[in-house]
Amino acid sequence: MIAQIQFGTRKLKIDLTQPLDISIPIKGSASNVNAWYIGPPKIEPEVFDGDKISVSEGASVNFNTITFNPHSHGTHTETVGHITEQNYPINKYLKQSFFIAEVISVAPEKKGEDYVVSAKQLQFAIGNKKRDAVVIRTLPNTNDKKTKQYSNTNWTYFEEDAIKLLVKKGVKHLLVDLPSIDREEDGGELKGHNAFWNTSGKVRTDATITEFIYVSNKIEDGTYFLDLQTAPFVNDASPSKPLLYKIIES
């Protein structure tokens, strides 16, 4: 199905039959991607009077209870409520899901014992483009990102100036293939998160960060139509399923 969409001042032609899913699903397994020092998610049948409510156990339905943390266990989208005392639930503050997004790839730079993404790298990759959303694929890009156990690995993170550059460019929705845009252990400073949401000034309550995506190597860098789907949780973060669509004409 080819759809013609008027998006702001642009007319876009998109093939809606060819979504590119860049999410990592949650599964009840120790091989589920993980971070932040907790165990894997659980997806288990409820038990009533000693009986598992599962078709395989003789019940008429499957009735699973799921226990997980959105920040630790898969692709999730979060608001500034992740780092503030005030509550900013994702289901209220993400008011739309369609955006023009730029997919870029960056090879993090070695800095002391860390690997970082710098403002210079982002400026080179994005140039003068103005986008609602930026999707960042870090290199090398291997399949183990979908199952990696990130706790105590000192993962790649974004320098504060890199995040400030994105804010200056008007980026409202940042999607990354890491557990966090900040260093794993930073003493609670969260410089990247605070810079992105401008917590020292007029807070950007309509801006979101999506972490734990996976952008296949088959997806080329460039401009896409993004559908940032989230579950309606009254929480600072929700599991999400961002879909990219190639823009045929604009």
Q: What is the pLDDT of residue 229?
A: 98
pLDDT one-digit tens code per residue, 120-130: 999 999 999 99
What 3-state DSSP class applies to 120?
helix
Residue 186, in any domain of the structure: yes
Q: What is the mean pLDDT of residues 167-180?
A: 98
pTM of the shown model? 0.96
Q: Is the pLDDT of residue 249 over 80?
A: no
Residue 56, in any domain of the structure: no
Q: Is the pLDDT of residue 203 over 70?
A: yes
Say how many domains are in the chain. Answer: 1
Q: For residues 213 and 249, which has the higher predicted lDDT (pLDDT)?
A: 213
Q: Which residues constitute the domain of residue 227?
A: 2-26+71-249
* Exposed e or buried b per residue across 207-237, where buried means at least 16 C-beta atoms within 10 angstroms of its C-beta: bbbbbbbbbeeebeeebbbbbbebeeeebbb
CATH number at residue 182: 3.50.30.50
Residue 178, in any domain of the structure: yes
pLDDT one-digit tens code per residue, 109-154: 999 999 999 999 999 999 999 999 999 999 999 999 999 999 999 9
Residue 58, in any domain of the structure: no
Residue 158, in any domain of the structure: yes
Residue 44, in any domain of the structure: no
How long is the chain? 250
Please state, as a whole number, how many other Cβ atoms lie within 10 Å of the Cβ of residue 197. 27
Residue 209, in any domain of the structure: yes
Please, which pLDDT band fits residue 81 given cuts at 50, 70 and 90?
Answer: very high
Q: Is the pLDDT of residue 250 over 80?
A: no
Q: What is the pLDDT of residue 10?
A: 80
Please, which pLDDT band fits residue 8 given cuts at 50, 70 and 90?
Answer: confident
